[in-house]
Amino acid sequence: MRSNKKTIHYIISELHKITIKDYKPRKGKKSQEIILSYQFFGKRLYEAPIVLINHALTGNSNVIGEQGWWNEFIGETAAVNPQDYTILCFNIPGNGFGDKENVIENYKDFTVRDIAEIFWYGIDYLKIKSLYAAIGSSLGGAITWEMAAQRKDKIDKIIPIATDWKSTDWMIAHVLLQDYILNHSNNPIFDARVHGMLLYRTPKSLKFRFNRALQGDNQDLFQIESWLNHHGEKLKKRFSLPAYKLMNYLLRTIDITEERGSFLQLASEIQSEIHFVAIDTDRFFPAEETREDYENLKKIKENTFYHEIKSIHGHDAFLIEYKQLNDFLKPLFNKNNV
């Protein structure tokens, strides 16, 4: 009998852990032990160019495979072929993936700059000398910016997707609201997630999907309400409260220019190719901010590029519009270019 099971021609590693004994966060008063976990996929370490993936707020290191959250972007027919590259992904410490007890209670001591520094620690620990590319979406894209700012000559290509190098006033305001919910609600993760989902989508996206339809025979429940309830419950099962507090708060701390000078000065010193990827309807990280940065940087840094996803779905389009994302980025990962 012929099996319908697809044969996988690349490695999907188990979760590995690195212990950092004494790490002092930038805003902290004392050092603490940090557990940095990671997975790798595709070719074995050191056998191929390395592509680092920095996950988004609710993501994790499980990028591809049965439960992989980015299978449509990383795969044998997608932009990044794991048969040609080693794909590496760290978990943001304290996100609880693989160990819900591994939490960071002093979440306001940590910044995106700390997370980037910890990721570089992991790369050094693994004796990786350089990265072919660093790709990050949303919060992961901000970490990508910070990693490039910390080591300007160690990444060939940076690809920050649906993100920014700074926390805008709009972002800071919503982080504050989320923090209030997480610290004062009787059902904190559920309530925070319901609010968050409305930032990640647009009114047009919700109308396209639900159009005021009722949930089955329940005449008192709209489908949009059922959908939001589902996402709230789903995240409660996946995240501990300390983990979600940390991940939310990190969004407030994005700023590669702090104590370093202007964005244009700093970004022009980054030797990497920079590929901005924005979403035209993104209300979380607005495209106009990204487009303005690109237009100004392009005047002084030639290897700077801009790609814009067209979508009704808002911020979440980077998880929906895979064809556009693959079309933009697949040429960068043609193995003949490496």
Q: Report how far residue 113's alpha carbon sits from residue 89's, in angstroms, rounded to the nearest whole number.
A: 17
Q: What is the pLDDT of residue 4?
A: 43
Q: Which two tokens stand for residue 253?
A: 């701390």
Q: Which two tokens stand for residue 5?
A: 């099971």
Q: 101 falls in which pLDDT band (50, 70, 90)?
A: confident
pLDDT in tens, 236-256: 999 999 999 999 999 999 999
Q: Which two tokens stand for residue 69?
A: 């959250």
Residue 111 clears pLDDT 50, i.e. is over it:
yes
Q: Which two tokens stand for residue 78?
A: 């997608």
In 10 A of CB 185, how many CB atoms? 13
Q: Report how far residue 173's alpha carbon sits from residue 176's, in angstroms, rounded to the nearest whole number.
A: 5
Q: 102 falls in which pLDDT band (50, 70, 90)?
A: confident
pLDDT in tens, 275-308: 999 999 999 999 999 999 999 999 999 999 999 9
Q: 8 falls in which pLDDT band (50, 70, 90)?
A: low
Q: Report how far residue 48's alpha carbon sits from residue 272's, in angstroms, rounded to the nearest whole number.
A: 19
- Sorted by where each starts, the structural domains of the chain and their CATH numbers stand as 11-168+255-337 (3.40.50.1820), 170-250 (1.10.1740.110)
Residue 20 clears pLDDT 80, i.e. is over it:
yes
Contact in structure between 55 and 161 (CB atoms under 8 Å): no
Q: Which two tokens stand for residue 288?
A: 């106009």
Q: Return mean pLDDT, the chain.
A: 95
Share of the chain above pLDDT 90, in %: 92
Locate all alpha helices (DSSP H) within the chain, ordered by sequence. Answer: 112-125, 139-150, 169-184, 188-200, 203-209, 223-238, 241-250, 263-269, 287-298, 322-329
Q: Report how far residue 260's alpha carbon sits from residue 269's, in angstroms, rounded to the nearest whole number.
A: 12
DSSP character string of 253-314: G-BTTTTT--HHHHHHH--SEEEEEEETT-SSS-HHHHHHHHHHHHTT-SSEEEEEE--SSG
Q: Report how far residue 160's alpha carbon sits from residue 239's, in angstroms, rounded to the nearest whole number.
A: 25
Residue type at position 4: N
Q: Report how far residue 21's alpha carbon sits from residue 269's, in angstroms, rounded to the nearest whole number.
A: 32
Q: What is the pLDDT of residue 170?
A: 96
Q: What is the pLDDT of residue 336?
A: 63
Q: What is the pLDDT of residue 7?
A: 58
Q: Using alpha carbons, list the distances in angstroms from residue 19 to 28, 118, 213.
A: 19, 11, 50
Q: Which two tokens stand for residue 145?
A: 């910016």
How buried is residue 239: exposed, middle or buried, by Cβ count under 10 Å (0-12/13-18/19+)?
A: buried
Reference 96, options 146, 25, 33, 35; nearest CA is 35
Residue type at position 74: I
